Amino acid sequence: MSNLSRAILDEALSLPDQDRIKLLEALLQSLDKPDPTIDSLIAEEATSRLEAYRSGQLNTVSLEKVLGKYAQ
């Protein structure tokens, strides 16, 4: 970590909690850039699963059964 980065970190750590949260959100958002390749893969997978569901090739589980598994 560069000296400038360390100085910024030290300054950020001295901020009130709410300001640190806002800063963190801004930093994370700056790293979350759209990736057309990933978006395309996700769309293809969603389409494939929907088609499998509609054609009866995909087994489904009710929400009650899924939640019941964790209600113990």
pLDDT (0 to 100) of residue 33: 87
How do the domains of the chain map onto residue ranges?
36-70
For residue 32, give both structure tokens. 């979350």
3-class DSSP string for the chain: CCHHHHHHHHHHHCCCHHHHHHHHHHHHHHHCCCCHHHHHHHHHHHHHHHHHHHCCCCCCCCHHHHHHHHCC
Reported as a single tens digit per residue, the pLDDT across 44-56 is: 999 999 999 999 9
pLDDT (0 to 100) of residue 32: 87
